[in-house]
Amino acid sequence: MPEGRAVPNCPNCSKPMSPGFLGSEGLVAGSKWYLERTRLGFGGEELAATSGFGMVYIAGFRCRECKTLLLQYGTPLPTLTGPAESSTGAVEVPVAPSGSGR
C-alpha cells in the first residue's frame, strides 16, 4: 500500500475496508497466480517473492463484512508499526515513514 493512499470502500458492499497484508508461507517459491487449480501447484505466474524468512506478503485491503480482498502486488511493502482498533471497530494499521526498513 503506497503511503498516503486512501482506504477504499468495498467494491461489493460499499463498507470501509481495512488495510493490511495477505501473508503465506513459501519456502520454495513466492505467491503465484493460477488460471486453474493444479494437482501439485506447478506453473503459475509468480506475483510476490518470499522474504528471507520464507514468508510472502502482499499488500491490500480486507472487508470483514462480505469477506472480500483487494490486493496489490509488485509494490514495496511499508513497515507496519502495529494495528490499532478505532472507535468504529475498524482496524487501522499505522505505517512508519519510508526508509525505516521492512
pTM of the predicted structure, to 2 decimals:
0.62
- Per-residue pLDDT tens for 1-13? 445 568 899 999 9
Report the number of distinct structural domains present in the chain.
1
Quick check: is 97 in a domain?
no
Quick check: is 81 in a domain?
no
- Per-residue pLDDT tens for 13-59? 999 999 999 988 877 778 888 889 888 778 888 888 888 788 888 98
Quick check: is 53 in a domain?
yes
The mean per-residue pLDDT over the stretch 89-96 comes to: 41
> Where do we find the cell 513497515?
79
Beta strands in the chain (DSSP E): 18-25, 31-33, 45-48, 55-63, 68-72, 84-85, 91-92
Domain extent at residue 49: 18-76
Quick check: is 92 in a domain?
no
Quick check: is 46 in a domain?
yes
Quick check: is 62 in a domain?
yes
- Per-residue pLDDT tens for 76-88? 665 544 444 444 4
